[in-house]
Amino acid sequence: MTSKNFNHPDVLDEGTNFLSPLVVGDKPISTEHRKRKSPNDFKSVHPADVTDEEKNGWVLQRSGIRSSRLKRVKSHDKWLEDRVWSLMRNMGFAVLNGDNFKITFQRDDGSIGRKQVDVYAEDHETVLVIECKSREVRGRRSLQKDLQETVSLQKYFRTAINNRFDGKAKPKIIWVYATSNILWSTSDIERANDGDIKVITENELQYFETFVKHMGPAGKYQILGEFLKGQKVPGLSNVKLPAIRGKIGGDVYYSFVTTPRHLLKIAFINHQALNHPDGRPAYQRMISSSRIKEIGSFIEKGGYFPTNVLVNFSDTPRFDLISNAENTDANIKFGWLTLPPKYRSAWIIDGQHRLYGFSRLDDKFLDQSLFVLAFERMSVQKEADLFITINHKQKSVPKSLLVSLLADIRMGDSDPSTALSALGSAVVRSLNTDKTSPLARRFSTHGVPPEPSQNLTVSEVVNGIRRSGLVGKIAGTTLAPGPLSGATDEQTVARASTVLNVYFEAVRQANPERWEAGRDAYVAVNPGIRAHLVLIAEVVTYLSHKKGLDFYLLKPDLFAQYLVDFCQPIFDFISTASNEEVKLRFSRRFGEGGVKEYSYHLMKILADAHADFGTDEFQRWSEQSNSEKIDEVNQFLMKLAERLTNCVINTLKAVHGTHRLASDEPAFWEIGVQSDRIRTNAFKAQQNDKTRRKPKEAYLNIVDLAEIVKQSNNWSHFEHVFKNPRPEERAGQKYYLGWIQTFNELRNIAAHKNQLKTYTDEDLEFVEWLRTEVDPKVPE
């Protein structure tokens, strides 16, 4: 490279090196790594200077006559840079940045700029340009200006970097932001995505460090696969292998032999520890370094594996059949498979240790044979289920265990809904297994007869965690954090468990006897636990608005303290209320309606102390639950439903008669009700009524009336009662029966008051319309 492309006098100070300083070669990189790999800085000073240095935060490590060695913890931003730099070194990059590294570039107007870059890593195929951003204490920080600057400089950096590869293939350049203790905003994530900037948080960094520690440089492709998904791997084009193609269980498979050298480049494993945004189900556990060493030693001694490594090709590979004369089997075909040349194109389902056992061996071992069975675009659910089946001694995993296993097989899933359920599953597992938790051993376990106190179910509470939004909410195609979310999945589980344990311990201590009684006391029950989760979310919203608290940033202990203090009226009620009072409020039906009703009664206790507490829907329910007007509305709707039904039945009897026909059915029923659906449903309802069985016509629904009255042989007898156009309906219709559907919905509210369904203002206006337009026409 020469300076002829940069005609500016400032450049001469840098000579011809526009990426400077760089560290190249094993020995210089190893020397630099020794000072970067520790979280501490070290230096030696004269013993007389130790006292002054201690004032600047240095700590004496070792004293001597002529020199004393000091150490000091690196600042959070410097330590993040050094961790990322060390990761690049351990991945095997042969060119890295030195201290105070800058990229010098030429702008479009010919002017020269220089920009400091935190980490630069380069090999003959790939370059990573990494900016490191951190906070000392976890919290929010806008990265808008930083991201905009990076995007604006990308084309200049690309030119400067490509000039280093003059005469060679241009490298793949990966732009990365590595952050620690920073809560990303949605808008910044979008800016990074728009700028093709990859994001590494402390969660991914920890995973990458652990993986490369176990794998060594061979783990590079696993990490590059995170950033270069779908892009071609240099040097892996047109690798053709003899193979068999067939079909099993509805999925296409290929059976072939390849080498670790090839498979390691395109393989990808979605471990539980990695919470990346677009990965497959995270059913794999982190690779065991001890097992890798054992397998590597076994291979070095001449060992080999006669069993298949099981993979899933993410794309359909090229497969060229051999001549038809030799390919006569209908079930399997012989041909040449072109190995997919893309990063992350072969997802390892089973055999990760067998493959990565080659990772630390000498180069000569990488051309040994590996037996591979590869599926073609198998669904992610099948992929995970296959892994579970294989790892449970070929026995299928009972479906009832799926929710419990979500924490194992779906953490960090690309589908935000599944990832949220997996987080909920992990939190419930933590609560159930923590010996200090009030919820320890309160959940039933599949295959184990439950004790009376084990009346909670994992699936119900996971559903409650999902709906509460406490550990995350689905926002489009992403999972947005909730107030109990941490920087990583593991931290989320720990944070949520801490807060929930404190809260439910307060519930337990309010009345230990009721808590331990389980289902019989209506406190530690599925609807109750779920209702408390809803309540916690509402309290967070209320206190955030009223006190300006940012619960996302509060430490778990302080979070829990605010929560417990505010909810003291609830604990007092649980402590002092009679059994009848508790039963009256909380002995409701199960299901979503029961959870909502339970949560409203909890909110009512807090609203008695804070009149403005609770959602708008709760406030409406609270007002209506004690309203004489609402009672009158309920009675009116129920009475009108009864009168309309009687009107239809009595009119049918008068018009068609009550005599029996050849079918042994009354004429009014046989002739007046021609719908098979209505007649069948009425008969089933009659047969299911085991207490006081009534005639079939008594089991007609309100919506059935609309179909009956507009029957061609009935309409003239009902038009004067049922034809009631609404003001907003278009003119010229024949029947005008649309009001019956709305009436039926309101009648259901009146009939099921305990479901906490309430009337809106529009509902009450419709009731008044019924009073004036419909009610006068209906016979008493």
Point out the residues of the chain with pLDDT beneath 50: 1-16, 272-283, 393-400, 447, 754-755
> What pLDDT does 396 receive?
42
CA–CA gap between residue 220 and residue 212 (Å, rounded) = 7
Nearest to 311 by CA among 334, 337, 335, 333: 337
Q: What is the pLDDT of residues 220-273, one digit of tens each?
A: 887 888 888 878 887 787 899 999 999 988 899 999 999 988 988 888 876 544
Tokens of 776: 């006068």
With residue 376 as reference, give the H or E element that holds it: strand 370-376
CB 30 within 8 A of CB 38: no
> What pLDDT does 250 receive?
86
DSSP code, position 10: G
CB 671 within 8 A of CB 656: yes
- Global pTM value: 0.54
- Dihedral sign, Cα of residue 722, residue 724, residue 725, residue 731: positive
Mark out the alpha helices in 391-442 (DSSP H runs).
402-409, 416-433
CA–CA gap between residue 335 and residue 323 (Å, rounded) = 9
The one-letter amino acid at 344: R
> What pLDDT does 381 receive?
65
Residue carrying the six token digits 């940012």: 550
Residues in contact with 96: Cβ distance below 8 Å, sequence separation at least 6, in sequence order: 22, 23, 29, 32, 85, 88, 89, 119, 120, 121, 122
Q: How many CA atoms lie within 13 A of 179 on its CB side?
A: 25
DSSP code, position 524: S
CA–CA gap between residue 180 and residue 201 (Å, rounded) = 6
CA–CA gap between residue 51 and residue 59 (Å, rounded) = 9
> What pLDDT does 673 receive?
92
Tokens of 257: 């032999």
With residue 741 as reference, give the H or E element that holds it: helix 739-751
> What pLDDT does 44 receive?
92
Tokens of 507: 């519930």
- Dihedral sign, Cα of residue 642, residue 647, residue 648, residue 649: positive
The DSSP bridge partners found for residue 175 are 129, 197
With residue 704 as reference, give the H or E element that holds it: helix 702-709
CA–CA gap between residue 428 and residue 492 (Å, rounded) = 12
Peptide bond into 21 cis (omega under 30): yes
Beta strands in 85-202 (DSSP E): 95-106, 112-116, 119-122, 126-140, 172-183, 197-200
DSSP code, position 774: I
- Residue count (the chain): 780
> What pLDDT does 443 receive?
83
- Dihedral sign, Cα of residue 342, residue 346, residue 352, residue 354: negative
Burial classification of residue 71, based on how many CB atoms lie within 10 Å of its CB (0-12 exposed, 13-18 middle, 19 or more buried): middle
* Coil vs helix vs strand at 22: strand
* Coil vs helix vs strand at 378: coil
Tokens of 640: 């009108």
CA–CA gap between residue 626 and residue 406 (Å, rounded) = 43
> What pLDDT does 6 receive?
37
DSSP code, position 342: B
First and final C-alpha spacing in the chain:
100
